Amino acid sequence: MFSLLCAAQNPDPRAAQDYIEKAYTLCQRAREGAKPALYTEASGALDRALELFPGNYEALKLRVAVLLGLHDFSEALRRAKELNKKVPDDIAVRGYLVDAEMALGDYEEAEKEAQWILDLRRGSTLGFEKAAALREAFGDPEGAIEFYNEALLRTPAGEKAERAGLMTRNARLQMAAENAAKAKELLEMALAADPGSQDALAGLAALAASQGNYTEAVGLSRKRVEQSPGAGNTYDLAVMLERSGQAAEAEKEYLAFETMARAEMGKTLNSNRELVFYYADYRKDAAQALAIAAKEAEKRHDSATLDAWAWALYRSGKVAEGRTQMDRALAPGVRDKGYLCHALQIATTMHDLAAIERFGNACSDSRAITK
Amino acid sequence: MRKVKAIICLMLTWFLAAPPVGFAASHREAPITALDQKADITDFFAFVSYEDPTKVTFILNVDPFLEPGNGPNYFPFDDTILYSINIDNNNTALPAVQFQVQFTTTINAPGVFTGFVGAGAGINAPANSPPPVAPGTPIIPPAITALSGAGAAGLSLSQTYTVSMVQNGVTTPLTNSNAAPLYAVPANVGPRTMPNYPALAAQGIYTLNNGIKIFAGTVDDPFYIDLGATFDSLNFRTAAGGGVLSAAADANDNVNTASDTVSGYNVNTIAIQVPITMLTGTGTLLPSTSTAATIGAWGTTSRPRTTVRRAPLPSASSGSFSQIQRMGNPLINELIIGTGSKDTWSMSQPVNDSQFASFDLDPLLARVLNAIYGIAIPTPPRTDLLPLVTYAPPIAAPGTPAGPIADMLRLNTGVAPTPMASRKRLGLLAGDAAGFPNGRRVSDDVADIALRAVAGILAGAQFNYRLGDGVNTNDVPYQETFPYVAWAQSGRQRRHIDPGEAGCTMGTGAACPTN
């Protein structure tokens, strides 16, 4: 039956493979250059490949990666589950499950899948990488750093973008732990490995801002926009400009951001989270912020989404509801200073002394760290 | 990428004409164990003890194809592996009783270049020994005649082990009745180093609390098969009927018409003999007609796991070990489960085997046999295979709760052992009620039995074909007393009986056929 599957179902296997390879390359470029439009192009190539070779496993797998790139997490999860049922030993698919479940806020299921990866392929890079992300989500940055280091040790020197990604994630944790020197070292190593790394540039900008060096932060943020002029990058630039005191320039970039972000509001890949904070904090339009945040929260319940919703509720005067959602956001254990800063402000408004004590000085530098 | 694709298609095509991996016994049958030889379970046996029908013997074999001469370190057990024998006695497919074994390695002579050394009464430095070693200084210790103490000076490397019984969540250490350490029996290096290996190996049989006996060490691999012909897309020897044995060849359990690929190789074994009263749910000896007489058993190997969460944060794992492999029946993962699911299967618990039901209901191997031999096979769904994966007659007594679909060896503890003279290699298929698939003895020809079961013999006489590889017996005789397997083959004297070589049956008789 397998020989039939190989030969008869595919009138032109070479052509199908060409489309799969094209899609793979597009995905890589999309990921490395933060150019999401390339995912759409990759999706088209996969459509063609699957027309030529229905059921091709490689194409179906890549389809899940594309869906994740496009932030269509529900559909990615559905398809990854189908593939996992067919080939449960495939840890790449289990990795997709982790990504989708984390994005949707199902940390318990994500943890189960990550544990499967660690058990199925002991010492695998993928297992350490996914477990590190979960440790971060569970509020164990030291444990996450340990696993990012393990993953980095196992990633060949030739896989530059992957290495840069791991170093950047590690650097963000170092930054949060106020190990600025280590963070800088890692980010510079990441950029050396992958000069086009948007995440590394963002990390360096955040690091500069956290040290009060807004000129450098603005410069780096502007470079990101030049390389990849999307809504998210434009928002970050606007924030840096605002914090550096360049109000007029910031306003210009914020307006540009608003236009771009509103255009993609209905898409899966959007900047709605940034839009929530833009309306809530910059435009002081809490109603807009809340409408967007509530809609996002209908789709996913990860800590970042719930934090944005909680903040929009708080800014709308719905403090108790904001507190409820903030508690949900923090429930997995995450210790992101941005979320904790929001939690602190909500607790302060509610005169919750215990919570105020618990969240300490979380607001000392929230915006630089929150992502 | 195109090349890869072509190779994948070629491989898939090949799978149509051959079983996906290892055959019957489980040497390197899943990707994860192919990479982790020390944790690779080759075979698992469970049978009512020949010389004492009030006890059941379990044998867990690991670490395949140990070339007896492969020094200097030979084949220690892995200290980081948890070896476990698991028993279900209430038809739930969950372990009601477990025996867990862990090893500790000691380097007794760190300056010595080999694990085992010795000769006669020892050899001293001769008169012309250059300084600073003075003539008469002991150089080579006496031959190894004991596992510890006097006679063990040549054991540069030794292993002790602990065994525990886990029941109802309570772990009870089982200790040597004389409180002495339990030593694993080393490989058989050769006659100069170990002049009386059987006597040395026999010292590794220990009596524990409650009458339990245990043995751990390197032994002859009891499994036999023409592995080369099997993996050559079922290219069995013409002399062995090309896969369908002649009536005469099939009837003779003591003659090989093909070479035993495992001949001359050793394996590491953990054998434990347990009173049946410690195994059955009622805690009593039961007749075969009792619905409580049949137990399920399987072996596992596990390694310490890396967990998503760190202590003291709540752990994602139920324990500190991650299962690497399991084995109940000798055929399920090898012949039934698809390659893309083998590792998940290995790491899953029997109670969750329904997730693999699609493989059981229409086994690819049956279609391979159908394609190659043109034989009729039962129409799916293959419910005839259920007695292998549920509690059902003819193994379990009628009325026994079937329990979930789960790969375990089912053993009716009330069935008396068959005397050696009446024992049949085809076990239950040949009317030998104490043979596989009612448990599994070391001598059972599970390769032939598995072929016939998959071809449909359990579905009715119309599917009874004399399928077989032509290897009907082991290359060395088994023992009739605990631990039943033959002692380890000598590193210096071992012989692999290959195609074309004389003495195809235990080193005697006609040559093994080449084709």
Compute how many other C-beta atoms are within 10 angstroms of the C-beta atom of residue B49.
19
Measured between alpha carbons, how far is B367 from B378 in angstroms, rounded to an integer?
A: 10
Could you say which of B31, B309, B316 has the minimum Cβ distance to residue A89? Answer: B31
- Looking only at Cα atoms, what is the longest distance across chain B? 80
Return the structure tokens found at A103. Answer: 């994005």
Tens digits of residue pLDDT in B86-104: 999 999 999 999 999 999 9
Q: Is the pLDDT of residue B19 over 60?
A: no
Q: Is the pLDDT of residue B13 over 90?
A: no
Return the structure tokens found at A210. Answer: 């956290």
Compute how many other C-beta atoms are within 10 angstroms of the C-beta atom of residue A345.
21
Return the structure tokens found at B376. Answer: 């009729």
> For residue B296, what is the DSSP state?
E
Give me the phi and psi of A351, to 5 degrees please: 55, 35
CB A118 within 8 A of CB B307: yes
**Comparing C-alpha atoms, which of A233, A197, A230 is closest to residue A218?**
A233
Give me the phi and psi of B319, to 5 degrees please: -155, -175
Burial per residue of B176-187, b for 16 or more beta-carbon CB atoms within 10 angstroms, e otherwise: eeeeeebbbbbb
Give the pLDDT confidence score for residue A368 in this predicted structure: 35
Measured between alpha carbons, how far is B73 from A35 in angstroms, rounded to an integer?
A: 55
Please give the average per-residue pLDDT across A134-140, as a whole number: 96
Beta bridge pairs of residue B159: B105
Give the pLDDT confidence score for residue B340 in this predicted structure: 92
Give the pLDDT confidence score for residue B314 in this predicted structure: 54
Instruction: Name the band, by pLDDT with cuts 50, 70 and 90, for residue B30.
Output: low
Q: How far is B57 from chain A, CA to nearest CA, in Å? A: 31
Q: Do A143 and B343 touch (CB under 8 A)?
A: no
- Between the CA of residue B297 and those of A319, B97, B419, what are the distances in Å? 59, 10, 23
Beta bridge pairs of residue A289: none
Q: Do A122 and B9 touch (CB under 8 A)?
A: no
Measured between alpha carbons, how far is B114 from A352 in angstroms, rounded to an integer?
A: 70
- A112 CB within 8 Å of a chain B CB: yes
Instruction: Name the band, by pLDDT with cuts 50, 70 and 90, for residue A35.
Output: confident
Return the structure tokens found at B256. Answer: 């090989």
Please give the average per-residue pLDDT across B361-389, as a whole number: 91
User: Is the bond leading into B381 cis (omega within 30 degrees of zero)?
Assistant: yes
Q: Do B309 and A14 touch (CB under 8 A)?
A: no
Non-local (6+) Cβ contacts of B391 within 8 A are: B91, B294, B296, B400, B401, B402, B403, B410
HSE-up (13 A, CA, CB side) for residue A45: 21
Q: Do A88 and B344 touch (CB under 8 A)?
A: yes
Measured between alpha carbons, how far is A5 from A9 in angstroms, rounded to an integer?
A: 6
Residue B61: strand, helix, or coil: strand
Give the pLDDT confidence score for residue A360 in this predicted structure: 83
Q: In what order do the strands lie in the sheet with B41-48?
A: B41-48, B55-66, B266-275, B213-220, B206-207
Pick the range with the lowest mean pLDDT from A261-265, B112-116, B161-165.
B112-116
Measured between alpha carbons, how far is B378 from A136 in angstroms, rounded to an integer?
A: 54
Q: Is the pLDDT of residue A1 over 70?
A: no
CB A96 within 8 A of CB A65: yes
Percentage of residues of chain A with pLDDT beyond 70: 94
Tens digits of residue pLDDT in B215-250: 999 999 999 999 999 989 899 999 889 999 999 999
Percentage of residues of chain B with pLDDT beyond 90: 81
Tens digits of residue pLDDT in B308-360: 998 755 544 445 789 999 999 997 888 889 889 999 999 999 999 999 988 88
Give the pLDDT confidence score for residue A29 in this predicted structure: 85
Q: Give ipTM to 2 decimals.
A: 0.87
**H helix or E strand, kind and range, residue B160:** strand B157-167
Angle between helical axes of A91-104 and A73-86 (0-180°, round to 10)? 150
DSSP 3-state percent helix, strand, coil across chain B (nearest 5): 25, 20, 55
Tens digits of residue pLDDT in B390-436: 999 999 999 999 999 999 999 999 999 999 999 999 999 999 999 99
Beta bridge pairs of residue B216: B270
pTM: 0.86
The owner of tokens 């074309």 is: B500
Tens digits of residue pLDDT in B264-300: 999 999 999 999 999 999 999 999 999 999 999 999 9
- A138 CB within 8 Å of a chain B CB: yes
Tens digits of residue pLDDT in A171-215: 999 999 999 999 999 999 999 999 989 999 999 999 999 999 999
Instruction: Name the band, by pLDDT with cuts 50, 70 and 90, for residue A12.
Output: low
Q: Least CA distance to A130: which residue of chain B?
A: B308
Q: Is the pLDDT of residue A367 over 70?
A: no
Could you say which of A3, A115, A118 has the minimum Cβ distance to residue B13? Answer: A3
Measured between alpha carbons, how far is A2 from A10 in angstroms, rounded to an integer?
A: 12
Q: Do B2 and A17 touch (CB under 8 A)?
A: yes
Residue A198: strand, helix, or coil: helix
Give the pLDDT confidence score for residue B3 in this predicted structure: 36
Give the pLDDT confidence score for residue B27 in this predicted structure: 61
Give the pLDDT confidence score for residue A3 in this predicted structure: 39
Could you say which of B5, B316, B343 has the minimum Cβ distance to residue A89? Answer: B343
The full length of chain A comes to 371
* Ramachandran assignment for B179, one of left (phi > 0), alpha (psi -120 to 50 degrees), beta (any other): left
Return the structure tokens found at B501. Answer: 């070589």
Put simply, the chain B residues between 332 and 351 with a CB less than 8 A from any chain A CB are 339-344, 347
Measured between alpha carbons, how far is B172 from B163 in angstroms, rounded to an integer?
A: 9
CB A270 within 8 A of CB A261: yes
Tens digits of residue pLDDT in A53-72: 999 999 999 999 999 999 99
Q: Is the pLDDT of residue B169 over 90?
A: no
Could you say which of A2, A111, A116 has the minimum Cβ distance to residue B15? Answer: A2
- Between the CA of residue B84 and those of B95, B305, B327, what are the distances in Å? 10, 16, 11
Give the pLDDT confidence score for residue B4 in this predicted structure: 34
CB B443 within 8 A of CB B372: no
Q: Is the pLDDT of residue B22 over 60?
A: no
More confident residue, A76 or A362: A76
Give the pLDDT confidence score for residue B312 in this predicted structure: 59
A-B interface: how many C-beta pairs under 8 angstroms?
85
Q: Do A2 and B32 touch (CB under 8 A)?
A: no
> For residue B90, what is the DSSP state?
S
> For residue B463, what is the DSSP state?
G
Measured between alpha carbons, how far is B423 from A188 in angstroms, rounded to an integer?
A: 73
Give the pLDDT confidence score for residue B103 in this predicted structure: 96
Instruction: Name the band, by pLDDT with cuts 50, 70 and 90, for residue B386.
Output: confident
Q: Do B322 and A122 touch (CB under 8 A)?
A: yes
- B251 CB within 8 Å of a chain A CB: no
Give the pLDDT confidence score for residue B111 in this predicted structure: 87
Residue A179 one-letter amino acid: N
Measured between alpha carbons, how far is A257 from A254 in angstroms, rounded to an integer?
A: 5
CB A62 within 8 A of CB A23: yes
